[in-house]
Structure 1
Amino acid sequence: MMVKNKKSPYISLSLTILLLFTQPLMATVYDLGSVNKRLIGKNTMHTVVKGDYFQQLAEQYNVGFLALLAANPQHDPFLLKIGAQLVIPSEMLLPFITRQGIVINLPELRLYYFSPQENKVHVFPVGIGRQGLSTPLTSTVIGEKRKDPIWRPTQAMQERHFAEHGKYLAKEVPAGPNNPFGKYALRLGTSEYLIHGSNQRFGIGMRASSGCIRMYDDDIKWLFDNVPLNTKVRVINQPVKMSYENGEKQLIEIHQPLTDLDVTKNNVILTKAMHRFVGSTREYWQQLLPIIEKPHGLVVELAK
Structure 2
Amino acid sequence: FYVIQNQDTLSAIAKAFQISIKSIVDVNPGIVPESLRIGQMICLPLSPLPYLLTISLNAKTLSFYRQGIFVKTYPVAIGKPSTPSPQGTFTIVNKVFNPGGPYGTRWMGLSARGYGIHGTNNPISIGTRASNGCIRMYNQDVNELYSQVLVGTTVKIYK
Matched residue, 2:149: 227
Q: Deviations over 1:128-181 (max 9, x none)?
A: 0011111010211111000111xxxxxxxxxxxxxxxxxxxxxxxxx3xxx100
Matched residue, 1:43: none
TM superposition shift of 1:115: 1.4
Aligned residues of 2:93 and 2:109 also touching (Cα < 8 A): yes
Q: Distance in 2 between matches of 1:100 and 1:183?
A: 21
Work out which of the residue numbers 118, 131, 134 in structure 1 matches 2:81.
131
Q: Distance in 1 between matches of 2:151 and 2:53?
A: 12
Matched residue, 1:205: 127
Aligned residues: 110
Matched residue, 1:109: 60
Runs of 4 or more off by more than 4 Å in structure 1? none
Q: Which has the higher contact order (CA 8 A, sep 6+)?
A: 2
TM superposition shift of 1:120: 3.0
Matched residue, 2:90: 140
Q: Distance in 2 between matches of 1:190 and 1:236?
A: 14
TM-score, length basis structure 2: 0.65
SS where residue 226 of structure 1 aligns?
Answer: coil
TM-score, length basis structure 1: 0.35
Q: Distance in 1 between matches of 2:147 and 2:51?
A: 18
Alpha-carbon RMSD:
1.7
Matched residue, 1:23: none
| Higher percent of residues as strand | 2
Q: Distance in 1 between matches of 2:51 and 2:77?
A: 21
Q: Distance in 1 between matches of 2:69 and 2:80?
A: 33
Correspondence list, 1:49-88, <5 A: none
Over 3 Å counting, the alpha-carbon distance change for 1:221 and 1:137 in structure 2 is same
Matched residue, 2:69: 119
Q: Distance in 2 between matches of 1:210 and 1:190?
A: 13
Q: Distance in 1 between matches of 2:149 and 2:124?
A: 25
Larger Rg, first or second structure (1 or 2): 1
Correspondence list, 1:230-245, <5 A: 230-237=152-159
Q: Partner letter of residue 83 of structure 2?
A: L
Aligned residues of 1:115 and 1:122 also touching (Cα < 8 A): no
Correspondence list, 1:156-175, <5 A: 175=100
Give the unaligned 5+ runs of structure 1. 1-98, 150-174, 238-304
TM superposition shift of 1:100: 5.8
TM superposition shift of 1:214: 0.4
SS where residue 134 of structure 1 aligns?
Answer: coil
Q: Distance in 1 between matches of 2:107 and 2:146?
A: 7
* Identity level (%): 33
Aligned residues of 1:143 and 1:190 also touching (Cα < 8 A): no
Q: Distance in 2 between matches of 1:216 and 1:147?
A: 15
Q: Distance in 2 between matches of 1:181 and 1:143?
A: 16
Matched residue, 1:183: 105
Matched residue, 2:115: 193
Q: Partner letter of residue 97 of structure 2?
A: K
